[in-house]
Structure 1
Amino acid sequence: MTTDATTAPAVAPPEGEVPPWLLDALLGTVVAAAIALIVAMEHGGRQPPDVLAYSFAAGFGALMLLRRRLPRTMLTATVLGTFAYHALGYPPIGVALPVVAGLFATADAGLTGWAVGAGAAVFGVSTGFRLHDGEALGYLLGYEGVSNIALITTAIALGYSTRGRRVRAAQQARIALLTADQAARDAELRVRVERERVSRDLHDTVGHAMSVISLQAGVAAEAIGHDDTEAREAVRRIQATSARSLRDVRSMVRLLRAGPDAADGHGVLSLSGVADLAETARGIGVDVRCDIRVRPDELAPQVDVAAYRIVQESLTNVVRHAGASRVRIEAGVEDGALLLTVADNGRGPAPGGAGDDGHGLAGMRERVRTLGGTLTAGRDGTGFTVRARLPARWPE
């Protein structure tokens, strides 16, 4: 069993606009008055108009109140009412006049097939009744027929086009909503990615500094009272490491405040700063040898920063876990790619240690993957090696 479920639910009109029910009441009044006027003219018919004939006119007008909520019901009742009126032999009221509003409402509700079928049925049956009443076929199929067909067609076409405009407007509104929602999700994703990047940077900076400071503090504690010169040197290294760490953190904070496009990243964290990292590692007894064959202008800022962080994290793992005495750092640009190697003679990160906690080796891999590069890390015959390959001129 079908219903009028295709009709859109009624909503309150914007302030200052005429309520739809009032417009329908006015339309119903006009329809009822027009049909009553035609009935009163007594043009043809087998019997003169009476109260029932005018009741039909009022009923056709009242059905206009259903055209928005129940268009199919309204159209069916109008068509059947038209047939009943002509069957009773009252003066003809025209083929299309009673059903024009119903045809429009049904097409507007997306029931175009119903509208076309009802229009054809009304035209055919009404014409048959009028022929039975003695009206001339030439008159009914000529001027009268053309005008009625035009009214029926126009009503259906207007309903169809009105629905089309409404559907397009709804689709455009939906597209705008989805576009805004997608833009919000993209912005949220960018914020999340930036937070992850800052988290990795803070982990790398503070983790490296804390590792060095912890070792130097142990050296100072053991040397106090036995070797004051070594204790002072350890404290000096703690001071230098903490100052450099604070400087790096402040640089990141300045970049965050200024926005992602306010600085290019060079001069804040760069392969040019690897020498300081190497000096810090040497200060705690690790023999670090550097072979950096890269000019700052050869690398995109993001790649330069990532390379620095890889070296920093690798040295942090050496200090914390590897038990290495020698580290070799090599970097160079070949065929448009930065090749970076950090190799030591130790045992590598301990399972479950900082190198495996999602912020060490995993963090390095994620950083390299984001830039379109690759990273491998593992033990070899002489120790533990980290190798990274990144596009040198990653899009800025």
Structure 2
Amino acid sequence: MPPFDIRRLRPPTGPRADLALAGLVLALTAVAEGQRLGTEGAATASATGSWALAVAVCAALPLRRAQPLPVGWFTVLGTGAYYLLSTVDGPLVVIPVAALYALAARGRLRVSAAMAAVMVVGVGAGALAGTGDVTGTAVFMLAGWLVAVVALGAMRHGRLTYAEEQARLRATEERLRIARELHDVIGHTMSVIHVQAASALHRMRRNPALAEEALTAIKESSKDGLRDLRATLGVLRQADEEAPTTPPPGLSRIDELVHSATRAGLDVRVDRAGERAPLPAAVDLAAYRIVQESLTNAVRHSGARHVVVGLHHGERTMVIRVEDDGRGPARAGPGDGITGMTERARALGGTLTAGPGPAGGFTVLARLPFPDGHGAIGRGT
């Protein structure tokens, strides 16, 4: 026979906890009523009525999850009537207290307060009628307990509401993050494919060699896009699937963005300044996506021919400046991804501005701060 393990014992929960509480209270009430009968002798009408009320109140408690309001009022009124009939201060008051707590925990504070007032009035009426052990002190203590129970239920309701709100907020932020990732990956790739496809159609008859070159670029862009898309969708993988092997996007892969934009007809130059220390993963990803979206907008909207990407690695800030010579003022709509870039910068405590440049064209300027010791963070990541 295996040894007994006390850790296997678990207190009941849910409906079983209600049944256990009702059974315990009914047993204690029976003991109290038995002592009353031993004192008074033969059973009287009040004793029979109080015992019937005790059984009915205890039997109603397990139904509180399905019908919390009717059960709450029934237990309160039944307990009040019990104290008017009984000459002992039995433990039946625990049942309506449990019902009150459940209602307050569900946010029904007004109803809980009204029930508590009715209970105090009922027990107080019993004290005024000279009902045995029920005294003014007992009424005063009961009022304090009921206030505490309603307050505890309200606190639990507040905590549950806060936890649910935080869960919804985290889910919303995660959806927005995934949406931004998909927009950046798919938007950039589809823009390059669109430009190359239009070029191939235009050159198909007059210059098949250039059309073939454009179709080759479409093939390479779609391959790169699928790879990045698989890496992005890796956050939605199940635990039993293989982890993605593609490295996460970062400035170390900026040459791929330059090559992709070059295939779309842009002349891209990258200027770096400052110490090229490893960046925190979040800053590295945000910087990559901002450059990617800026190049995508240059390909899709501006008609630019030349783009300069400036990357300045400061001690506490990563500064990104993307300038083109396209038609900047004509393309600052909400669909250009500027909102997504701004949200990325703000999420890191940084800033991003986008608008016409001083010498024409369009300029995106982002400042992404990071804490001291970011080199160690980046290497660990």
> Aligning the two structures, in what range does the TM-score lie when normalised by the shorter sequence?
0.5 to 0.7
2:361: which partner in 1?
383
The answer to whether the aligner puts 1:31 opposite 2:50 as a matched pair is no
1:17-166 map, 5 Å: 18=23, 28=33, 30-36=35-41, 58-65=44-51, 66=53, 69-73=77-81, 75=83, 99-101=87-89, 119=127, 122=130, 156=138, 160=142, 164=145
CA contact (8 A) 2:28 2:91 kept: no
Query: In 2 relative to 1, CA 113–372 (structure 1 residues): closer, same or farther, beyond 3 Å?
Result: same
Deviation at 1:222, TM superposition (A): 2.8
**Higher mean Cα deviation, 57-66 or 262-271?**
262-271
Q: How many aligned positions are there? A: 314
1:247: which partner in 2?
227
- 3-state SS of the aligned residue for 1:328? strand
Deviation at 1:380, TM superposition (A): 3.1
1:293-308 map, 5 Å: 293=273, 297-308=277-288
Give the counterpart letter for 1:386 in structure 2. V
Deviation at 1:75, TM superposition (A): 4.7
Distance 2:17 2:182 in 1: 55
Give the counterpart letter for 2:178 in structure 1. V
Distance 1:220 1:104 in 2: 86
Distance 1:348 1:372 in 2: 26
CA contact (8 A) 2:188 2:293 kept: yes
- 3-state SS of the aligned residue for 1:285? coil
Distance 1:191 1:103 in 2: 45
Give the counterpart letter for 2:211 in structure 1. A
Deviation at 1:286, TM superposition (A): 2.4
Give the counterpart letter for 1:385 in structure 2. T
Distance 2:31 2:124 in 1: 26
Deviation at 1:316, TM superposition (A): 1.1
- 3-state SS of the aligned residue for 2:304? coil
Distance 1:105 1:258 in 2: 50
Query: In 2 relative to 1, CA 392–233 (structure 1 residues): closer, same or farther, beyond 3 Å?
Result: farther
Distance 1:19 1:103 in 2: 10
Give the counterpart letter for 1:371 in structure 2. L
Query: In 2 relative to 1, CA 173–348 (structure 1 residues): closer, same or farther, beyond 3 Å?
Result: same
Q: Structure 1, residues 192-233: CA drift from partner, whole Å, max 9, x if none? A: 322222222222112211211222222223333433442333
Output the TM-score relative to the length of structure 1.
0.62
Distance 2:282 2:80 in 1: 65
Distance 2:244 2:350 in 1: 20
1:193: which partner in 2?
173
Query: In 2 relative to 1, CA 295–191 (structure 1 residues): closer, same or farther, beyond 3 Å?
Result: farther
Query: In 2 relative to 1, CA 75–319 (structure 1 residues): closer, same or farther, beyond 3 Å?
Result: closer
Q: Note the aligned Cα RMSD (angstroms).
A: 4.6
1:362: which partner in 2?
339
- 3-state SS of the aligned residue for 1:189? helix
The answer to whether the aligner puts 1:373 opposite 2:350 as a matched pair is yes
The answer to whether the aligner puts 1:288 opposite 2:268 as a matched pair is yes
Distance 1:341 1:12 in 2: 63
Gaps of 5+ in 1: 1-10, 38-56, 79-97, 124-147
- 3-state SS of the aligned residue for 2:196? helix
Query: In 2 relative to 1, CA 253–115 (structure 1 residues): closer, same or farther, beyond 3 Å?
Result: closer
Output the TM-score relative to the length of structure 2.
0.64
- 3-state SS of the aligned residue for 2:366? strand
Query: In 2 relative to 1, CA 372–20 (structure 1 residues): closer, same or farther, beyond 3 Å?
Result: same
Query: In 2 relative to 1, CA 359–20 (structure 1 residues): closer, same or farther, beyond 3 Å?
Result: farther
Query: Aligned to 1:310, which of 286, 290, 303?
Result: 290
Percent sequence identity is 32
2:104: which partner in 1?
none
Distance 1:358 1:299 in 2: 29
1:214-253 map, 5 Å: 214-253=194-233
